[in-house]
């Protein structure tokens, strides 16, 4: 009974991911679907192996469609040309370590997809930094990376130097983020994801970007629109931060959690070594979730 419900929810999440995936493959090539398919197959194998080792029945866990969601979210964070072996490592860590070591769906403390992504990011930073120029074929840094290592160029100059950056989020990325936003709004409208975490995250990210924005000088940190519609902002806000197991249960806790993710994402993008900080922001906020739950329960949010 419960399982059927999980399965329905996960199928809706899969459907909501579709617009974003289509946008990704439109800009970065149809071979993105090979990554998706490969990740799902490996994820299924790892899950089956974990269940088998624990002598647990295969069917309920394998058919609840939660592993494909994890695998797809992980793949969306990886560039299309990522070696299949990197994807395999990421998926194995996500499903085997972050999910099944904790006892499977509903028991994990950290978002599995983000654990998998963080592990491959710190292990293979070079391979994961290269995104192809959309509809082109050669590889280049993403808008976020260009912002970080621009050697004193102003925002307008970056936009001129890196042809085809689009108008505000980096070419392609604004559409990809918009598509994820559409899917995410659907989830929120269907009450599968609650609105507090993504709202708090996006608002705090936008406010910080607004404070840091100085109309595009060489020291500019990027406009609020840039931060909202570039990199992994929307997919993290609406699909990953909203993972009901790893965010707090109280309303106040969820608002705080969202703010924490937004602030940390901005801080890591601007001050950290990694161009996009959303994955680390999620893991850090996940570490704080039990504490937030513990401290905020008597207050009844």
Partner 1 sequence: MTDLALILIGSLLVNNFVLAQFLGLCPFMGVTRDYDAALAMGFATAFVLTLSASLSHLAYHGLLVPLGLTYLNIIVFIVIIASAVQLTELFLRSVSPLLHTALGIYLPLITTNCAVLGVALTSLGQSLSFLETVVFSIGAAVGFTLVLVLFAALRERLEGASVPQSFRGAPITLVSAGIMSLAFMGFAGFAD
Between 122 and 160, CB nearer to partner 1 = 122
Nearest distance in Å: CB 18, partner 1: 29
Please report, for residues 43, 62, 91, 135, 188, the alpha-carbon distance to residue 49 in angstroms, rounded to integers and kept in the order given. 10, 11, 13, 39, 34
Show the site string, 219-258: x = touches partner 1 by CB under 8 A, - = not.
----------------------------------------
The most distant pair of C-alpha atoms in the chain lies apart, rounded to whole Å, by 60
Between 196 and 269, CB nearer to partner 1 = 269
Select the residue interacting with partner 1 from 32, 110, 165, 168 (CB under 8 A).
110
| Spatial distance between the Cα atoms of 214 and 187, rounded to a whole number of angstroms | 35
Nearest distance in Å: CB 294, partner 1: 5
CA 200 to chain centre: 16
Nearest distance in Å: CB 98, partner 1: 7
| Spatial distance between the Cα atoms of 70 and 26, rounded to a whole number of angstroms | 21
Query: Which segments within 77-138 are labelled E, that is strand?
Result: 131-132
Please, which of residues 257-286 interact with partner 1 by CB under 8 A?
264, 267-268, 271-274, 277, 279-281, 283-284, 286
Show the site string, 115-154: x = touches partner 1 by CB under 8 A, - = not.
x--xx--x--------------------------------
Residues in Cβ contact with 114 at an 8 Å cutoff, skipping those fewer than 6 apart:
240, 279, 282, 283, 286
Please report, for residues 39, 42, 81, 94, 124, the alpha-carbon distance to residue 85 in angstroms, rounded to integers and kept in the order given. 10, 10, 11, 14, 11
Please, which of residues 77-96 interact with partner 1 by CB under 8 A?
none
Select the residue interacting with partner 1 from 102, 153, 199, 301 (CB under 8 A).
102
Nearest distance in Å: CB 288, partner 1: 6
- Sign of the alpha-carbon torsion through 238, 241, 247, 253: negative
For residue 39, how many C-alpha atoms fall within 13 Å in the half-sphere facing its CB? 33
Query: In the numeric block, which tokens belong to residue 17?
Result: 């991911």
Q: Is there binding between residue 101 and partner 1 (CB under 8 A)?
A: yes
Between 98 and 133, CB nearer to partner 1 = 98
Query: Which segments within the chain are labelled E, that is strand?
Result: 131-132, 139-140
Between 165 and 274, CB nearer to partner 1 = 274
Nearest distance in Å: CB 222, partner 1: 17
Positions in the binding site for partner 1 (CB under 8 A): 54, 97-98, 100-104, 107-110, 115, 118-119, 122, 264, 267-268, 271-274, 277, 279-281, 283-284, 286-291, 293-294
């Amino acid at each position: 009974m419960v399982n059927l419900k999980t399965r329905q929810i996960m199928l809706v999440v899969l459907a909501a991911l579709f617009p974003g995936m289509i946008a990704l493959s439109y800009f970065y090539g149809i071979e993105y679907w090979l990554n998706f398919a490969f990740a799902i197959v490996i994820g299924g194998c790892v899950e089956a192996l974990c269940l088998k080792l624990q002598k647990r029945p295969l069917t309920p866990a394998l058919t609840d469609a939660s592993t494909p969601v994890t695998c797809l979210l992980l793949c969306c964070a990886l560039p299309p040309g990522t070696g299949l072996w990197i994807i395999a490592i990421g998926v194995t860590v996500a499903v085997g370590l972050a999910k099944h070591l904790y006892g499977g769906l509903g028991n994990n403390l950290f978002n599995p997809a983000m654990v998998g992504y963080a592990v491959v990011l710190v292990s293979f930073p070079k391979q994961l930094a290269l995104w192809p120029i959309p509809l082109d074929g050669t590889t280049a840094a993403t808008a976020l990376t260009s912002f970080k290592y621009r050697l004193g160029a102003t925002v307008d100059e970056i936009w001129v130097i890196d042809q085809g950056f689009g108008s505000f989020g980096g070419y392609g990325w604004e559409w990809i983020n918009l598509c994820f936003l559409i899917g995410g709004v659907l989830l929120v409208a269907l009450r599968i994801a609650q609105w507090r975490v993504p709202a708090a995250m996006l608002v705090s990210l936008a406010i910080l970007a607004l404070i840091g924005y100085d109309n595009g000088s060489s020291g500019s940190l990027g406009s609020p629109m840039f931060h909202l519609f570039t990199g992994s902002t929307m997919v993290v806000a609406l699909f990953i931060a909203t993972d009901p197991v790893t965010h707090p249960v109280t309303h106040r806790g969820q608002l705080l959690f969202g703010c924490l993710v937004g602030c940390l994402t901005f801080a890591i993008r601007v001050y950290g070594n990694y161009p996009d900080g959303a994955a680390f922001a999620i893991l850090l906020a996940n570490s704080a979730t039990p504490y937030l739950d513990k401290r905020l329960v008597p207050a009844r949010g």
